[in-house]
Structure 1
Amino acid sequence: MAFNTSLIPKTENMLQVTPFHLSRNGAFQRRPRGILRVENKQFAGFAGYSDLYKADVTFSDQSKPLPIIAKAFRIIPNDEESNDQFTNIVDMLQDRESAVGAHEHISPIWSASVVMAGYTVPAIATPYYGNGNIINYVRFHPSADRFELVRQTASTLVHIHSKDIVHGDICPENICIADDGTVRVTDIAVDTLVRQTIHGNNLCVPSKWMYKSPEELEWGYRTTQTDIYSFAVTVYSVYTLKPPFVSKAHSYGKGLVQIINHGHDGLFEEIKPDAMSNDLWEVVRMCCAVDPSLRPSMKEVNGMLVRMREDK
């Protein structure tokens, strides 16, 4: 997708990232103390509701800088109502992270603020993962153990669901790969909280609609069962290395209708990806049942994956 470069925010001397309520989990065991400096600030792209900035943050008790991505929510200058709404979202995400607790495959999320052209907007920040998302990683590392990455993602969702929390936006972009080649699930509940705040009860097409379940697209439901469906479609894409639909602007109508009426069966056409085992293919098919009550729980899915690993 081509962007008009004149729309890209100029970040030199404009961007200040100041994370607070700092916490670390998983691979990040120590709580950093204060910010010593923020360097190498640069615009990194657009997201659905935010602008992305990359920076290196050095904390006062660490000599090595930590690369981060800050997602600054897109707010019109001096729009105090929207600023307050997104500030509340950031606070809720901090509460949600505390509820989720530590897990080795969950990315930490920090509250942040970004100063742009003289005004401050709320933001969230996460570590920057140079390996990118799970599909990019597998594409550039053909020898990567795809099954193990899938299993790690499943175990993470088991943990999230055990806290009675729905991720709400499982897709390849929210499954990143750390420097050690292991999974980091990002943006837990972020999209859900933003959509509830911005759109209320109005239905709108999710940006990652192609990974969604029929009931989510038709009724807006987001449950652990919709997470399971999206997990399965994501696994399918990890093994085909492409999205289930070709993404084109304003051309998603037929795809939406197909998923709502038939799920992903018509898309998959009962064709198993060559690299996928028969057992894993069966799990994917079970998780993509159009009737949510027929889908296994994430705990059951993880149990099946663990047994497959043990049987190898």
Structure 2
Amino acid sequence: MTQILIVEDDDAIRNNIVRLLKLEGFETVAAADGRQGLEQARTGRPDLIVSDVGMPGMNGFELLAAVRSDPLLVNTPFMLLTALDDRESMRRGMTAGADDYLSKPFSRAELLDAVNAQLKKKERVREAIDSGVAAGEERLRAAFASRISGGRPDSVPVDIPASAQTEELANATVLVASIRNFTSLAEKLNAAEVSQLLTEYFERISEPVLKNSGRHIKFVGDGLMAVFVDTLTGSPLPAPRRAISAALAMALATHEFRDWLEQRFGGRALPPFAMGIGIHGGPVTLCQLGTQQTKELTPVGDTVTLASRLEDATEEKGWTVMASEHTLAEAGTGIQTGIHTSLTLPGRNLAIDVAEVTGLVTTMEDKIHGMASLTERASEISDAVRANSDITARAVKGALDAKLSALKDLRFDASSEPVRLKGYRITRKIGAGGMTEVYLSERESDGLPIVLKVLDSRGKEASEHLVRFIQEYALLCKIDHPHVIKIYDQGFTDEHAYIAMEYFERGDLRSLFGPNLARSEALTVAREVAQALSAIHAHGIVHRDIKPENVMLRGDGSVALADFGIAKSMLQTPSMGLTQTHHGDVVGTPYYMSPEQATGRKVTAQSDLYSLGVMLFEMLANRRPYIAESLELLLAKHLNADTPALPEVHAELQGVVNKLMAKNPEHRYESAEAFLLELESIAPAPEISL
């Protein structure tokens, strides 16, 4: 049921309004002053607020300002009640963002007409937004699918019906902004998080556009477009100057937005957040879309296209704001620039002179006239931001999910073109098991072979695997070490996930084990694994599953530590939500498990050293130190049994192995570096294989 909040200090008027509206079937709540009204609004989220102007404490103007500054109430229709001859209050209220006013005294018919008009207006806006959801989402899905496959769609894709009515602007300045690498960023978040990110971002960068009198603001995907026109603002400042002022303020808002990103998604290994802005001026055509009532005007034409192309070019140039020299010439004095160059536009026999905009020296006139109040469409713009955020989140996730889902049923044969995904060519399937499909791929930029693991993350058990997928990337993206597996990329949707990692043609270390493994090879492996442990421990990461199957062989014979699916950061905070294990959980592989892991006690860097000791013993002795007929007996040996003796030829390494495999973590090497130092002191032995 529609709820209307009445805020009026006169008991008789308030009760009369409540009675009239209840008789018409509306649910009403009432408050005697602005402070009570604001509390009622925040609690009940009404569909319409009707407020008197003159009230003790918080008056109607102050209540209106509080409502418009509250993110949850900003779009609520707001009517003011004013005295018949109080024109100044009427103007002040409308300027402050009121949607309508009603003069006292008023009749029943006048009240109902005004209330119904505001409720119908709100419904029309909602219908206009909803009517474009299906087409807009499908268009964005196609655009993001193109990006995922290596294509590059237009920055602001807009469909214009042939029957659309148009209006010509002889000279306007167009600003186009877009998020850098949005697809890569969105892959690291779920759909709701993408929507939240976009809403927060667009609300922050829209404010400078509105304050500089930007009009016809459009939100499409991760892009924003706005038009600045001299004749519509009444400001003596030229449109190009206001567009540049808005762009620089947007850049500042984006910088501050990174702090919000860090607070909200810190530890999620998001790519660096950046934006690009292109500005160009010239003729613009405004096309009317939707109904006559919504009057949605969409800017199109060469000027819009060129501004979009300049925005594209900011990524290649590494600039934040790029403006055409034509725009700069009309912007007035004080525009600070960096590099000036000529840009050849792809697909066109056209070169345009451009410059990097780095700052603006403001004048007193700028300060007086450059910051306009919110336009009368501020609430509709806010609705558009939220609608766009939801559509974009679904589109980018839908495109990726469709791509990953389709891989499972593809047949890879000689006659088929390789499937493309995010800069990788998928050539064939090399493995499958449970919820995971493994594909051999090539990186398009250099032909480097890549392993692509795709996880079907539907179901409770699969969701736990998804968390480990996310964790592995979040941990490893911090580390660049020759003996740690390289993780190149990761993305996930609500139902699938992928991770692109280094390919090891020779497989894992187990293939080396056997009587022909020389002592020097065993020590080299132990040394390189210890170096990898030193690197990950320096980042506060414990692997927790050191075993031969998680040590991979490269073509040159070196090894790399892999499979961080159950690794745990010793530095992570509870808000990161990455690990699925808790105190008392047993994780790892029993044959290589430390005593503290076997009993669910705290796991530390020394736990990894124990597992390395077990592996070193196995390489030197060609057998595991402990074997048993049951898991319970095996774990008991890890807890209580002495370390077995090595073959006599390796006796001088017995002390090293004993120290690595000490039952008490405090009796082991204090660090991987300490173990490496001890290895250096051991003289090489004759190459005698067992």
* Common fold by TM > 0.5: yes
**How has the CA–CA distance of structure 1 residues 65 and 224 changed in structure 2, closer, same or farther, with 3 Å as cutoff?**
closer
Pairing of 1:124-143 with structure 2 (within 5 A): 124-139=499-514, 142=517
Give the share of equivalent positions with the same residue, in percent: 20
Q: Indicate if the aligned counterparts of 1:18 and 1:113 stay in contact, CA closer than 8 A.
A: no
Q: Which residue of 1 aligns with 2:410?
A: 13
Pairing of 1:94-243 with structure 2 (within 5 A): 94-99=473-478, 101-112=479-490, 120-139=495-514, 142=517, 145-188=521-564, 190-192=565-567, 197-198=579-580, 200-201=582-583, 203-204=585-586, 206=587, 208-243=589-624
State the SS of the aligned residue for 1:94. helix
Alpha-carbon distance between aligned partners in 2 of 1:68 and 1:140, rounded to the nearest angstrom: 31
**How has the CA–CA distance of structure 1 residues 140 and 110 changed in structure 2, closer, same or farther, with 3 Å as cutoff?**
farther
Following superposition, the deviation at residue 128 of structure 1 comes to 2.9
State the SS of the aligned residue for 1:58. strand
Q: Which residue of 1 aligns with 2:295?
A: none
Pairing of 1:249-268 with structure 2 (within 5 A): 251-260=630-639, 262=640, 264-265=641-642, 268=643
Following superposition, the deviation at residue 243 of structure 1 comes to 3.9
1:11-39 alpha-carbon deviations (Å, 9 max, x no partner): 4418999876xxxxxxxxxxxxx22x211
State the SS of the aligned residue for 2:682. helix
Q: Which residue of 2 aligns with 1:28?
A: none
Q: CA RMSD in A?
A: 3.7
Q: Which residue of 2 aligns with 1:302?
A: 676
Q: Which residue of 2 aligns with 1:43?
A: 431
Q: Could you state the TM-score of these two structures normalised by the residue count of structure 1?
A: 0.70
The amino acid that maps onto 2:501 is: T
Alpha-carbon distance between aligned partners in 1 of 2:600 and 2:440, rounded to the nearest angstrom: 41
The amino acid that maps onto 1:104 is: P
Which consecutive residues of structure 2, in runs of 5 or more, have no partner in the other structure? 1-406, 413-417, 570-576
The amino acid that maps onto 2:487 is: I
- Structure having the higher strand fraction is 2
Alpha-carbon distance between aligned partners in 2 of 1:287 and 1:90, rounded to the nearest angstrom: 30
1:233-278 alpha-carbon deviations (Å, 9 max, x no partner): 1111222344445587xx3121122223x0x52xx43x21356x33
**How has the CA–CA distance of structure 1 residues 182 and 233 changed in structure 2, closer, same or farther, with 3 Å as cutoff?**
same
**How has the CA–CA distance of structure 1 residues 112 and 102 changed in structure 2, closer, same or farther, with 3 Å as cutoff?**
closer
Q: Which residue of 1 aligns with 2:444?
A: 60
Alpha-carbon distance between aligned partners in 2 of 1:60 and 1:226, rounded to the nearest angstrom: 40
Alpha-carbon distance between aligned partners in 1 of 2:486 and 2:421, rounded to the nearest angstrom: 12
Alpha-carbon distance between aligned partners in 2 of 1:104 and 1:282, rounded to the nearest angstrom: 28
Residue-pair matches, total = 266
Alpha-carbon distance between aligned partners in 2 of 1:67 and 1:158, rounded to the nearest angstrom: 26
Structure 1 segments, 4+ long, off by >3 Å, are 14-20, 74-77, 85-92, 110-115, 138-144, 192-202, 240-248, 309-312
User: Which has the larger Rg?
Assistant: 2
Alpha-carbon distance between aligned partners in 2 of 1:171 and 1:96, rounded to the nearest angstrom: 19
**How has the CA–CA distance of structure 1 residues 124 and 220 changed in structure 2, closer, same or farther, with 3 Å as cutoff?**
farther
Q: Which residue of 1 aligns with 2:10?
A: none
State the SS of the aligned residue for 2:555. coil
Q: Which residue of 2 aligns with 1:23?
A: none
Alpha-carbon distance between aligned partners in 2 of 1:139 and 1:114, rounded to the nearest angstrom: 40
State the SS of the aligned residue for 1:301. helix
**How has the CA–CA distance of structure 1 residues 88 and 199 changed in structure 2, closer, same or farther, with 3 Å as cutoff?**
closer
Following superposition, the deviation at residue 88 of structure 1 comes to 4.7
**How has the CA–CA distance of structure 1 residues 14 and 209 changed in structure 2, closer, same or farther, with 3 Å as cutoff?**
farther
State the SS of the aligned residue for 1:40. strand
Alpha-carbon distance between aligned partners in 2 of 1:142 and 1:153, rounded to the nearest angstrom: 16
Following superposition, the deviation at residue 95 of structure 1 comes to 2.8
Q: Which residue of 2 aligns with 1:29?
A: none
Following superposition, the deviation at residue 145 of structure 1 comes to 1.8
Pairing of 1:273-284 with structure 2 (within 5 A): 273=647, 277-284=650-657
Alpha-carbon distance between aligned partners in 1 of 2:635 and 2:445, rounded to the nearest angstrom: 50
State the SS of the aligned residue for 1:173. helix
Deviates more, 1:131-140 or 1:215-224: 131-140
**How has the CA–CA distance of structure 1 residues 102 and 94 changed in structure 2, closer, same or farther, with 3 Å as cutoff?**
same
432, 453, 456: which is aligned to 1:70?
Answer: 453
Q: Which residue of 2 aligns with 1:24?
A: none
The amino acid that maps onto 2:469 is: V
Q: Indicate if the aligned counterparts of 2:487 and 2:501 stay in contact, CA closer than 8 A.
A: yes
State the SS of the aligned residue for 2:680. helix
Q: Indicate if the aligned counterparts of 1:131 and 1:137 stay in contact, CA closer than 8 A.
A: no
Q: Which residue of 1 aligns with 2:663?
A: 290
Alpha-carbon distance between aligned partners in 1 of 2:420 and 2:589, rounded to the nearest angstrom: 29
Alpha-carbon distance between aligned partners in 2 of 1:239 and 1:306, rounded to the nearest angstrom: 17
The amino acid that maps onto 1:302 is: L
Q: Could you state the TM-score of these two structures normalised by the residue count of structure 2?
A: 0.34
Following superposition, the deviation at residue 310 of structure 1 comes to 7.3
**How has the CA–CA distance of structure 1 residues 184 and 295 changed in structure 2, closer, same or farther, with 3 Å as cutoff?**
same
| Larger relative contact order, structure 1 or 2 (CA cutoff 8 Å, min sep 6) | 1
State the SS of the aligned residue for 1:70. strand
Alpha-carbon distance between aligned partners in 2 of 1:224 and 1:17, rounded to the nearest angstrom: 41
The amino acid that maps onto 1:304 is: E
Alpha-carbon distance between aligned partners in 2 of 1:140 and 1:120, rounded to the nearest angstrom: 46
Alpha-carbon distance between aligned partners in 1 of 2:426 and 2:472, rounded to the nearest angstrom: 23
**How has the CA–CA distance of structure 1 residues 155 and 192 changed in structure 2, closer, same or farther, with 3 Å as cutoff?**
closer
**How has the CA–CA distance of structure 1 residues 306 and 218 changed in structure 2, closer, same or farther, with 3 Å as cutoff?**
same
State the SS of the aligned residue for 1:222. coil
Following superposition, the deviation at residue 113 of structure 1 comes to 5.6
Alpha-carbon distance between aligned partners in 2 of 1:19 and 1:191, rounded to the nearest angstrom: 27
Alpha-carbon distance between aligned partners in 2 of 1:17 and 1:169, rounded to the nearest angstrom: 34
Alpha-carbon distance between aligned partners in 2 of 1:164 and 1:42, rounded to the nearest angstrom: 33
Which consecutive residues of structure 1, in runs of 5 or more, have no partner in the other structure? 1-9, 21-33
**How has the CA–CA distance of structure 1 residues 142 and 224 changed in structure 2, closer, same or farther, with 3 Å as cutoff?**
closer
**How has the CA–CA distance of structure 1 residues 244 and 17 changed in structure 2, closer, same or farther, with 3 Å as cutoff?**
farther
Following superposition, the deviation at residue 197 of structure 1 comes to 4.8
The amino acid that maps onto 1:228 is: L
Following superposition, the deviation at residue 90 of structure 1 comes to 3.4
Alpha-carbon distance between aligned partners in 2 of 1:65 and 1:191, rounded to the nearest angstrom: 27
